[in-house]
Chain A
Amino acid sequence: MSKMKISKEVTVSNRLGLHGRPAAVLVKMASRYHAAIELSRPEDPDNPADCRSILSLLVLAAAQGTKLLLSADGEDAPQAVDEISEFFAENFQE
């Protein structure tokens, strides 16, 4: 199966930003995929956060309104990007 890398811009739209609870959910979500999944700030593409690390997500300190680049690299990247961007679109279900 071919490897693929997919990116998509997502926006943190809930009031509290990407705080502890959604970060923990993201870690669990990302751990279900084989693809490497990262979130980065467009202005700082060289320091992406690893979606499987809660600390790394929290350190992003993404407040409400922050735009992030979601990227996944691996065979199940499309599904991963779909599920995670959906989670962002739903305001982290808050």
Chain B
Amino acid sequence: MAAEMQNVKVIAISPGIAIGRVLRIQRLNRIVDPGEGHISEDQIDAELDRLRGALDTTRKQLQSLQSTLGKKLSAAESGIFDAHLLLLEDRMLLADIEKHIREEKNSAEFAVSRSTEHFIGVFSAIPDPYLQERAADLRDVTARVMANLTEAEAARPNIDDRRIVIADALTPSETVQLDCTKVLGFAVETGSATCHAAILARSMRLPAVSGLPHEIFDKLRSNDIVIIDGVAGRLIVNPDARTEEAYRVKAAAAGKLIDELGRESELCPETTDGFKVELAANIDAAGQYAEANKVGAYGIGLFRTEFMFMEPGKLPDEETQYKCYRELLIAAGDRPVTIRTLDVGADKIATGVYRSAEVNPALGLRGLRLCLYERRDLFTTQLRALFRAGVSGDLRIMLPMVSSTQEIVETRELIRQIQNQLAQENVEFSSRVLLGAMIETPAAALIADDLAEYVDFFSIGTNDLVQYTMAIDRLNERVSYLNRATSPAVLRLIRHCIDCAERKGIPVSVCGQMAADPASALLLAGMGVQELSMASVSIPLVRRAIRSIALFDAEQLVEKSLRATADDEPARLAEALLLKHAPELVDL
């Protein structure tokens, strides 16, 4: 690539700045040029050997990855590897690949690519969400085989210094495989801020961007120098000395600030005039409590239980769940722990839970709807486990995807039956557990005053509330310009919800992505929200933001924001307030 500097706008998916040399990873759908994919008769045996070697290496890599990562991954993530191993040993797949090599004299790469595309084509003709996932698995596992066949650019384990990975796309298992000690960050062509790779990148604290233009990807070569700015969403190729220096200063300052914030975990998250906002953590496995505790989280504001239900073909029984919830409650001691009941559907399809495929899962039987009307068996098991575990700490149960009071009435009735049953069986359970509704649909926000009669608290899930209010698919990049929690429409719904809760005297917390953004958190504090729940990694930043302003300033911000007519105005006003009082947090 020419040495001329290029600075392009991309989508920020994981914050931070990375500067370094490129490691280019290209995936199978473009790696093979069919014109070069033919071999001669006498090469067939050597080609088959090469294939077997690559399969063998891949199997070993997967097994070692699975065992080294085993403890760090949720059951669902670990299940990815089981599925991959099953595919890697699949007789039909292997026979098909070998047939291409033997009979059509294809190179091993070309044969793997053809078989993969063939089966993916077959899968995509069958409307089964599980099959679509297997298609992705197949692509993932054969990409790995391909990487082992073509050592040239894909020599991932041998990165000799820290690099920035540039890829057309990264699958979840590839993302997990990125070794933080060797990778500085990554830039991909496709993937949104809510895709699985982005979520993993944030948990691994790797800066990342997506939406890399194809022309840039095509021209970039290993060893080109790039800068990725995972905050402003920029990618700079071959930066000039001045630009590089400016980014180095910025990156160093960010690193220093993170260290400094790490030492503030004991400080009270209150405004300069004493308005306290409790900061709780979002987790998806009981084992993550330790990290939450380290950053000074006030308990758990959202425990997503669905990850337990994602192990293929195996649903957790009452005892397994009871032990998990109990472990978490004991770890949290007297701090509150809010556990959300099974929330599957839309982007989180748990195989074995769904009984029927849906054309439009985001608007289908998900969350509480699925639990009440199709899988009452699972719901009952989970509630029994929860009420039993409730004796070990301060448990609150939160219901996802509420859209009518009837759903709460029916849940209350089911709980009454469960408690009677437990009493009859002489099983110990807690009768003091609070029950809350998540506000994720415009319907729930609009009837918040009625809902408040039936529940003990509200928790606003901003990610879904934005999706349903703005009528956008969160994974569709083409409508991502509407994906903002600070849109006036969303803010007014939140305001309404908080007003209703205040009138009825029940507490409100916010647990979506909005709570984790320091500027948006000021808006929420200004609206009177007394609990924000977020990924542990965001707590130190939000604590500093809250501590830097007076409640009065936040209230003024809210007043102006609610009158805003332009969609981006509230976000700009909030950023400006943050810039005035805690400039170090802007652009971090």
CB pair B126 A56 closer than 8 Å: no
CB pair A25 B313 closer than 8 Å: yes
CB pair B93 A61 closer than 8 Å: no
**B134: chain A residues within 8 A (beta carbon):** 20, 54, 58
Question: Any chain A CB within 8 A of the CB of B92?
Answer: yes
Q: List 8 A-B contacts (CB under 8 A).
A: A20-B130, A20-B131, A24-B83, A50-B91, A53-B92, A55-B90, A55-B119, A61-B126
Question: Any chain A CB within 8 A of the CB of B423?
Answer: no
Question: Any chain A CB within 8 A of the CB of B579?
Answer: no
CB pair A19 B90 closer than 8 Å: no
CB pair A55 B352 closer than 8 Å: no
**A61: chain B residues within 8 A (beta carbon):** 125-126
Question: Any chain B CB within 8 A of the CB of A4?
Answer: no
Question: Any chain A CB within 8 A of the CB of B133?
Answer: yes
Partner of B355, one of A16, A52, A54, A55: A16
- The CA-CA distance from A58 to B124 in the complex, in Å, is 11
CB pair B357 A16 closer than 8 Å: yes
Which B residues have a C-beta under 8 Å from some C-beta of A? 83, 86-87, 90-93, 119, 122-123, 125-126, 128, 130-131, 133-134, 312-313, 351-352, 355-357
- Chain B, residue nearest A59 (CB): B122
Number of interface residues of A (CB under 8 A): 19
Interface string of A68-94 (1 = CB under 8 A from B): 000000000000000000000000001
Chain A: minimal CB distance from B181 (Å): 35
**A58: chain B residues within 8 A (beta carbon):** 122-123, 126, 131, 134
- The CA-CA distance from A94 to B125 in the complex, in Å, is 24
Closest 7 CB pairs of A and B: A20-B130, A53-B92, A56-B92, A53-B91, A55-B92, A21-B313, A19-B128
Chain A: minimal CB distance from B10 (Å): 35
Question: Any chain B CB within 8 A of the CB of A15?
Answer: yes
**B125: chain A residues within 8 A (beta carbon):** 61
Question: Any chain B CB within 8 A of the CB of A29?
Answer: no
Contacts A55-B87, A55-B92, A58-B123 aside, 12 further interface pairs with beta carbons under 8 A come to A15-B356, A16-B128, A16-B355, A20-B131, A21-B313, A50-B91, A54-B90, A56-B90, A56-B92, A58-B126, A94-B352, A94-B355
Question: Any chain B CB within 8 A of the CB of A27?
Answer: yes
Interface string of A1-21 (1 = CB under 8 A from B): 000000000000001110111
Between A and B, how many residue pairs show CB distances below 8 Å?
Answer: 59
Question: Which A18-58 residues have C-beta < 8 A from chain B?
Answer: 19-21, 24-25, 27, 50, 52-56, 58
- Chain B, residue nearest A52 (CB): B91
CB pair A19 B130 closer than 8 Å: yes
| Chain B binding surface, main DSSP class | helix
**A55: chain B residues within 8 A (beta carbon):** 87, 90, 92-93, 119
- The CA-CA distance from A61 to B124 in the complex, in Å, is 11
- Chain A, residue nearest B82 (CB): A24
CB pair A21 B130 closer than 8 Å: yes
**A21: chain B residues within 8 A (beta carbon):** 130, 312-313, 351-352
- The CA-CA distance from A84 to B357 in the complex, in Å, is 25
**A52: chain B residues within 8 A (beta carbon):** 91
- The CA-CA distance from A78 to B583 in the complex, in Å, is 75
Partner of B87, one of A15, A17, A25, A54: A54
Chain B: minimal CB distance from A58 (Å): 6
CB pair B356 A59 closer than 8 Å: no
Chain B: minimal CB distance from A19 (Å): 5
**A24 and B313 contact, Cβ closer than 8 Å, known pairs A50-B92, A53-B92, A56-B92:** yes
- The CA-CA distance from A55 to B123 in the complex, in Å, is 9
CB pair A53 B93 closer than 8 Å: yes
Among A19, A20, A21, A24, find the residue whose CB has the most chain B CB atoms closer than 10 A. A20
Partner of A53, one of B90, B128, B313, B351: B90
- The CA-CA distance from A25 to B126 in the complex, in Å, is 20
- The CA-CA distance from A27 to B83 in the complex, in Å, is 12
- The CA-CA distance from A86 to B122 in the complex, in Å, is 28
- The CA-CA distance from A55 to B126 in the complex, in Å, is 13
- Chain A, residue nearest B96 (CB): A55
- The CA-CA distance from A27 to B88 in the complex, in Å, is 13
- The CA-CA distance from A61 to B356 in the complex, in Å, is 16
